[in-house]
Amino acid sequence: MFTLKQIEDAHSKVKSGADFPKYIQEIKKLGVNEFETWVKDSHTEYYGQNGYKTSSNSMYENIEIANSSDPSKFKHYLSIHQRGETDYPAFCKHCAEAGIEKWVASLNKMTCIYYDKAGNEILVEAIPQI
């Protein structure tokens, strides 16, 4: 089964959202089926087969998530991040500002779903195949 070190090594190659599809393919090959990232501190829970789970540590001090979501603002921030115009810390701050609490990536379905604090789906996005 995969280790947190293997995932961190794969993630270290990600410089912007433009690198996300390659990262997804790499961790999928490791056996990751799904992961859930919490914007407040960027800790992530990774899930594999047979109930296997591992979690990363927080990457930064807690940031406050806006109480209400702004889907159009979020879509703009996501778009510029995917074009490589922002780094990961900036993207997380933008998510918080737009009211995004977490995202869940399904590597089996190749989707990434962004949620607000109330648990509402704000955006369902197909992860590009490379």
Q: What is the pLDDT of residue 75?
A: 97
Q: What is the pLDDT of residue 102?
A: 98
Assessment of whether the complete model's pTM goes beyond 0.85:
yes
* pLDDT beneath 70, residues of the chain: none
Q: What is the pLDDT of residue 13?
A: 87
- Determine the Cα–Cα distance for residues 19 and 13; give it in Å rounded to an integer: 8
Cα-trace Rg, the chain: 14
Residue in 13, 9, 15, 7 with CA at minimum distance from that of residue 83: 15
CATH numbers and ranges of domains, the chain: 4-126 (3.30.1810.10)
Q: Enumerate residues 6+ apart whose C-beta is below 8 A from 118.
A: none
Residue in 12, 19, 21, 6 with CA at minimum distance from that of residue 110: 21
Q: Which amino acid is it at 96?
A: A
CA angle 50, 114, 13 (to 5 degrees): 70
